[in-house]
Structure 1
Amino acid sequence: MREAVHAAGTKVMGAGDAGSRNPGIDALRGLAIVLVVFNHLGLRIPLEKTALAGVLPTWLLNRLNWNGYEAVYVFFVISGFLIAGNALRRWGSLAAIDVRAFYARRFARIVPCLLALLAVLSVLHLLGLPDYVIHRAGQSLPRALLSALGLHLNWYEARTGYLPGNWDVLWSLSIEEAFYLGFPLACLLLRRRTLLAPPLVLLALSLPWTRAALHGNEIWLEKAYLPGMAAIATGVLGALLADAWQPPRRTVMLLGWLGAVGLGAVLLDGGALWHWLRDGYMLVLTLSSLCLLLCFRWRAELGAVSPLRGLGWLRAWGRMSYEIYLTHMFVVYAVVRAYRAWGGDPAQGWLWYLPALGLCWLLGATVERWLSVPCERWLRSRLVGVAPRGRMGMQPG
């Protein structure tokens, strides 16, 4: 391992205060969570039916509304990249990973907000509030709770149908945490990178074929384990590459441009890519996201970190992406009900996006300050023996 570069990477993305975060990664994650919110708003207040259609092209408005699924896959790649990268900086190699500490850190980060969300949703269901009642045939509150805590909510929805929106967002968490249950064990079993990398490569490249095999079940096509895990594996491979190699500056910049063009092509004209590549367009998405992550990481190691002005709000969204992701549907439902109570004029629908975004950020910040960070700090101090400094000891996955 490259000791000098390793130390530089730790300073930029490792243990330290909030200033140690990588601004590029935060901005990419912020873009992803904004697209998720736009998607869930667009299902109820489509931008193409608002007055903006007279100012902006319809294809652009549609892309703003219908990239939520692709945004989750960007999250998957970022997650694998950050969690594997943090493990490499923390323990030196994946073969030396401390399984107990790894699980304890994941528990401290994920479980407090998840339990709070499930408790609130259970109360709202029992109170019979519209938008929160589980009502489909074959579904029940106990079974929904079991599926969320047992990391198979995606499978449960594939069998019984969509759950209410606040429950539905947990499908991605089922995939992520199922992957991380096995990840440290695979690292200890295979130990060498030469043994760990080939199965990760096969999993990462399997994405188009695992998706293609699922056509016929709309929900399972979107939420099956293997396609999501393929995206996470892509991020893990990127972390291994970033730890083992420091390319020249020109290569870093080329990767950045390739990533930006590829991601832009998927987000702005995914239909054309689908026409030519079918399910392969998702591989373009994951590999482009990885190129950007490698560029951000290596630029930081080269000392070329320069956050773009005007994007501070987007980086803030990225820092709170987990909290916003879990809670944004409360805001979406409230805003949509207010919009309809106000008359539901489609032409004015775009005006409701601005307060929705502000409320999503405010709710996420509240959860972060009063629940997520205090609980994580308390749990880490008891389960791991150290409490993170600042927002997080390392940039969180």
Structure 2
Amino acid sequence: MPDAAPSAAAFPRNPGIDALRGLSILLVVLHHLALRIPLKQTALADFVPGRLLAALSWNGYSAVFVFFVISGFLIATHALGRWGALARIDARAFYLRRAARILPLLLALLAVLSVLHLAGTPDYVIAGAQQSLGRALLAALGLHLNWYEGVTGYLPGNWDVLWSLSIEEAFYLGFPLACLLLRDARVLFAALLLGAVSLPLALAALAGSNEIWQEKAYLPGMAAIAAGVCAALTAARVRPRRALAGALCGLGGGGLAAALLCGPWLWRALGNGTMLLLTLSVAVLLVGLHWRQQLAPRAGRRGLGWLRVQGRLSYEIYLTHMFVVFAVVALFRAAGADLRSGFWWYLPAVALCWALGALLARYFTDPCDRAIRRRWLRPPGPARSAAPAEAESAA
């Protein structure tokens, strides 16, 4: 089946989902800053509740799982929009779209990191006893950097963020094949739902593993992505209703807020079920946001514009934000700044992460994406415009 892509207008951006992605990438950036400039040791602790500071500081891992759910939802939604059913997915076109979105920036990042390692730049040298540059490159390109870290230890920060990309792209490698093999939509949905709800069991099975593998194993991340795909299939199957859309937004948003703000208490009460609460809440919220967009396309477009922009740049910011984090932290230490005033350094760090992501999107990733699509995805007959790539990826 040729890749006859719908027009970009067929895939309008969803401001609510963009804002959710923006919140997620913000939490990742804040987490990596807080590891080096703890918010609880700044003057903010004098008047901001400790629970809120902790939520801002330590939800980076949870934010990645939010990304996983969103990514599964968007990929499945766009696949349904292009091919009508997942059983009719064009595997070649699917893989080329993923490659066009992911590979240009990933390859550029690996080239820069290799140069910095060879130059002996602090914070960028791969120094583990069992690690090497060549093996790290193979792991990043072979979609098993998470496993490589689990066996050999943490890599430098700019390499470490690639663990989630290994999980996400491994899922997408098998996703079209599963869709084509399990052609019955009900069987596919049942298999994905089983994978999604198995998240607590997958986490429990990892209890005897080392800390890195407990965090970065394949199955928990894939379970989160599966939850997003199930949400997309549900949203496409059930007729949207305004009242139900609002209720789902409230229910999913409330569950997400509880998971982010009340994590320690929930872990004591639910254990590994806390992560399932997180992923299912995001899935429910996505269905509500999707239906709200269908019923009221102009809804949710006021306010939080900066967060939506961050969401649209989430992939670029995610892969490159550690450059900014390391630079800002180095300046903070070189200036001999007091930890009490450390929170002020967060503001330029977040702004610079956004600026770097915006520059990369405008002058590198978007042009590369368009060029690859024009070269390899042009359908026969009159040229047709392709859906915007950034609307598909949540990485």
Q: Is the 8 A contact 1:256 1:295 kept in 2?
A: yes
Are the structure 2 counterparts of residues 390 and 52 from structure 1 closer, same or farther at C-alpha, using a change threshold of 3 Å?
A: farther
Give the equivalent residue in structure 2 for 1:392.
Answer: 388
What is aligned with 2:30? 38
Does residue 1:105 correspond to 2:101, yes or no? Answer: no
Contact persistence 1:97–1:187 (CA under 8 A) = yes
Indicate yes or no: 2:227 matched with 1:234. yes
How many Å separate the matches in 2 of 1:200 and 1:19?
Answer: 24
Aligned to 2:324: 331
Inter-partner Cα distance in structure 1 for 2:233 and 2:118: 47
Determine the structure 2 residue equivalent to 1:268. Answer: 261
Partner of 1:174: 166
Separation in 2, partners of 1:375, 1:61: 39
Matches within 5 A, 1:73-222: 73-216=65-208, 217-222=210-215
Give the match's secondary structure for 2:388. coil
- 3-state DSSP class of the match of 1:20? coil
User: Quick one: which amino acid aligns to residue 351 of structure 2?
Assistant: G
Query: 1:322/1:258 Cα in 2 relative to 1: closer, same or farther (>3 Å)?
Result: same
Shift of 1:246: 1.4
Contact 2:11 2:387 in 1 (8 A): no
Cα displacement string for residues 107-143 of structure 1 (whole angstroms, at most 9, x for unaligned residues) = 0000000000000000000000000000011000000
**Alignment correspondent of 1:3:** none
- Residue 59 (str. 1) matches residue 51 (str. 2): yes
Query: In structure 2, what is the equivalent of residue 4 of structure 1?
Result: none
* Alignment partner, residue 293 of structure 2: 300
CA distance in 2, matches of 1:184, 1:47: 43
**Equivalent residues of 2:69, 2:227 under 8 A apart:** yes
Cα distance change of structure 1 residues 341 and 389 upon mapping to structure 2, 3 Å threshold: farther
* 1:321 matches 2:314: yes
Among residues 294, 299, 310, which one is paired with 2:303 in the alignment? 310
Displacement of 1:390 in angstroms is: 8.7
Q: Which residue of 1 aligns with 2:344?
A: 351
- 1:207 maps to a residue whose letter is L
Q: 1:342 to 1:17 in 2, by over 3 A?
A: farther
Change (3 A) 1:158 1:394: closer
Quote how far apart the aligned CAs of 1:389 are: 5.3
Query: Which deviates the most, 189-198 or 317-326?
Result: 189-198
Counterpart-to-counterpart distance in 2, 1:165 and 1:388: 41
Other structure's SS at 2:8 match = coil
Q: Give the number of aligned pairs.
A: 385
Seen in structure 2, the aligned counterparts of structure 1 residues 305 and 188 have a Cα distance that, compared at 3 Å, is: same
User: Quick one: distance in 1 between partners of 2:9 and 2:194?
Assistant: 37
Alpha carbons of structure 1 residues 391 and 185: separation in structure 2 relative to 1, 3 Å? closer
The answer to whether the Cα contact below 8 Å between 1:78 and 1:293 also exists between their aligned partners in 2 is: yes
Deviation at 1:394, TM superposition (A): 7.3
- 1:102 positional shift: 0.4
Q: 1:373·1:391 contact (CA, 8 Å) conserved in 2?
A: no
Question: What is the CA-CA distance between 1:309 and the residue it aligns to?
Answer: 2.9
CA distance in 2, matches of 1:83, 1:263: 21
8 Å contact 2:292–2:299 — kept in the other structure? no
For residue 217 of structure 2, the aligned residue among 218, 224, 232 is 224
Change (3 A) 1:390 1:27: farther
Match of 1:251 in 2: 244
Q: 1:193 to 1:17 in 2, by over 3 A?
A: closer
1:376 aligns with 2:369: yes
TM-score normalised by length of structure 1: 0.94
Q: 1:285-342 deviations in whole A, cap 9, x for unaligned?
A: 0011011111110011112542253300000000000000000000000000000011
Q: Normalized against structure 2, the TM-score is what?
A: 0.94
- Contact 1:15/1:393 (<8 A) preserved: no
For structure 1, the residue ranges without an aligned partner over 5 or more in a row are: 1-9
Choose 226-235 or 378-387, whichever is displaced more.
378-387
Q: Matched residues in 2 for 1:248 and 1:297: separation?
A: 11
- Structure 1 residue ranges, 4+ long, deviating more than 4 angstroms after superposition: 386-391
Residue type at the aligned position of 2:104: P
User: Is this contact kept in 2: 1:16–1:393, CA < 8 A?
Assistant: no
Match of 2:357 among 364, 368, 372: 364
CA–CA distance in structure 2, aligned partners of residues 324 and 17 of structure 1:
25
Per-residue CA distance 1:213-233 (angstroms, 9 max, x = gap): 112411011100000000000
Looking at structure 1, the residues matched to 355 and 324 of structure 2 have their Cα atoms a distance apart, in angstroms, of 10
3-state SS of 2:155 partner: coil
Instruction: Determine the C-alpha separation between the residues in 1 that align with 2:119 and 2:156.
Output: 15
- The code of the aligned residue for 1:51 comes to A
Over 3 Å counting, the alpha-carbon distance change for 1:231 and 1:304 in structure 2 is same
- Distance across 1 between alignment mates of 2:298 and 2:138: 44
5+ residue gaps, structure 2 = none
Q: Secondary structure at the match of 2:272?
A: helix
Distance 2:303 2:181 in 1: 46
